[in-house]
Structure 1
Amino acid sequence: MDKYERLLVIGDIHGKWERFKSVYDKVGFNPEKDLIVFLGDYLDRGDTPVPVMEWVMEHYGQKNLVFLRGNHEQMFYDAFLEVQSSDGHNAFSLNSSLAKWLVNGGQITYEEIRKTGRKDTLISNWLRLVAKLPLCTEVVVNDQVYWFMHANCNPDLPLAEQDDVDLLWRRTLAERPELHHGEQIVVLGHTPVQALGYEAKPQWLQNGRLVLMDTGSYLDSSNPLGAGRISCVDLLSGEIYQSAV
């Protein structure tokens, strides 16, 4: 069991560098006293993914920062591994992993990476990082068990037995929180709370046992769901930190 002054978690960033930096600066993370968990989806949809990539790569492995893998990291990984293994043949077919990534927000990421003039190096370095990112993690503080993953889990199974598709893609608990009867606190990103009818701030459901952290980071005021934010929460105190819109 660990002792921290703050147990912090940051939801989906999706290539919104200024929003991310604004909330991270508000938090004032102290690696000697705090632990911070990032729930994945660092890239795609947002217009400034490269500074986010560089920040994550620079900070990966530093004390008390935990970076999880999201489905957008998985799509990126699958896309470029397929490209490398196929030598480009059929890489742009409609059913390819690359096509799937591009139509799910990867197009803007690819263009921004290309503009740097360091495309091959950035892609190679990011692929190496993604390969290291875990799909979930457990933290125990003050005898309370916390589970962190990007998208979803089966609360009745041990973490080691969770299905990768569940952890990265499904939305079961976000849409049906009553399915969580366990004592552990499950913390998720992936599903924007606005899409579930909530306002753009983290949501505690099931008597606080389920925490939803995706507050629509890439959404702007023209979106039918309204403007989004990037959010961070201290799970020990309930304090919320959010980016400007």
Structure 2
Amino acid sequence: MKYSYLIMVCIAFAKANSQQTPPQLTGPQLLEKAIAYHDPKGNWSRFADSLEILTTSPDMEDRTSNIKINLPAKSFELVSKRGDIVNEYTVLKDSVVTAAKMDLSQMDTTFVMGKEDFKRAVFMRDYYTYLYGLPMKLKDKGTVISYEVERKMWKEKEYLVLRADYDPSVGSDIWFFYFDPETYRMEAYQFYKQKEPRVKDPKSGEYILLSEEYKTNGIKMPKVRKWYYNKNDKYLATDTIVD
């Protein structure tokens, strides 16, 4: 009887222990699990491929963007077309930058653009490699990942929410990333301007809902991105990777 009692106690303890809530993940731990889902073989640093992105918006003509990203070669090319206007940007190792604009309605006239357009070429490179490199890009230098992870109900679903701030030399927005608590798949993100240091302005910024998946180079990218204003949930546009 004595041994039977001890066995029963051990079983009860093991059962109770197994039913306890799992330990809360830290921010860095959540990020590692999210990267393991989206880039299980660590291929992002070797990414070299092309993407075609269709942007639709209720207020503008559709835009098609053809992008070539080659991270080992540090090169980026973008050709975007909206109506009769074509914009071309090329960036190579931050030193060779070209920008051109064509109006197809005027006999393919080409306009070589100026200094500000060259800056925009670098901006477009950083924009596309950031968004399509998430969540892996959250490991970049200058990104400050919060240690705390928030468990939050949002859009009728529970998420694990990771906050990212940035060194002033990198950026000034405050970002929040929403991950499925079971798979660690990234399903949304949003950003805010700073009202004061490290305090978000709730009337600023946008949120982006992610759906479907596009697989390339062993990486699972969100295929569809739908953009909305934070302040009033107004729909802005949808970006879709074209197969």
**Which TM-score applies when normalising by structure 2?**
0.25
- Which of the two has greater strand per residue? 2
Larger % of helix: which? Answer: 1
Higher relative contact order (CA 8 A, sep 6+): 1
Give the TM-score normalised by structure 1: 0.25
Which protein is bigger by CA-based radius of gyration? 2
